[in-house]
Structure 1
């Protein structure tokens, strides 16, 4: 006997609350850990309805790459990992990357940083691509959380 769930009615669809998605994981503070985080974020977004190659997937994946690379390069403490949290509610995707270096916070105005440096322009990308971004202290352990929000409706 085949049992198929009944197709939802129009009325039932409007009563279902919007579903929030969340993914969180700890990664080694190495380039390999940052690369794995980036790949898993892209895969998770694909599963959540933002397919590979779409502007939302590409933008959030690029922001994740920058935040995780910064956590490895500037927030690394030997023997400590970085944490990534990805959440998606209708209209907004948020990426949070935490590390254990509270004293090394990024400049909130990335354009004010030294322009002669060969590196250090990742925050300019985040500033340009994210709807909002910032840094806050970690509440569960020493360190900081650098976060970025991307408005899905504002990306084309």
Structure 2
């Protein structure tokens, strides 16, 4: 008889689209990845915390609709790779990466520097999910 694959460990939480909700997203992510075995002071855990903070802040700032929150999802793909997803109800407002001198869009420059990859997926009927993967140690220039 074939054996079924074990599902990847996951964490999902709905949060209010407020500054407090964004801070809570970061705190919950730090706690969850520590439970999954990533030391809180490791480069991977610190990178994941910053990526969650930036994506959650963007969901609050640019993806907010009155009465609607955002969703944080974490999936441990491998022991050394984490997928972060932040879903908000504003599919009409896609992320834009701006130059370092531009005051808007700098968070995604940080996400791009810390994550192994990131992107945007539609979340029907009208939302979007911004995802990023953190895992391998990044090599500096």
- Determine the C-alpha separation between the residues in 2 that align with 1:22 and 1:102: 24
Q: Which residue of the other structure, out of 75, 86, 91, is the alignment partner of 1:97?
A: 86
Aligned pair 1:106/2:89, yes or no? Answer: no
Q: Residue 136 of structure 2: SS of its match in structure 1?
A: helix
In the alignment, which residue of structure 1 is the partner of 2:118? 133
In the alignment, which residue of structure 2 is the partner of 1:37? 25
Q: Deviations over 1:54-73 (max 9, x none)?
A: 11110001000000000000
Q: Deviations over 1:62-116 (max 9, x none)?
A: 0000000000000000100000100002131000000011111012xx2xx2555
TM-score after normalising by structure 2 = 0.87
Aligned pair 1:123/2:108, yes or no? Answer: yes
Residues 19, 145 of structure 1: alpha-carbon distance in 2 compared, 3 angstrom cutoff = closer
TM-score after normalising by structure 1 = 0.79
Q: Give, in angstroms, the shift of residue 40 of structure 1.
A: 0.4
Q: Residue 25 of structure 1: SS of its match in structure 2?
A: strand
Q: Which residue of the other structure, out of 81, 99, 113, is the alignment partner of 2:69?
A: 81
| Structure 1 spans left out of the alignment, 5+ residues | 1-16
Q: Superposition RMSD on alpha carbons, in Å? A: 2.0
| Structure 2 spans left out of the alignment, 5+ residues | none
In the alignment, which residue of structure 1 is the partner of 2:137? 154
The answer to whether the 8 A contact 1:96-1:148 is kept is yes
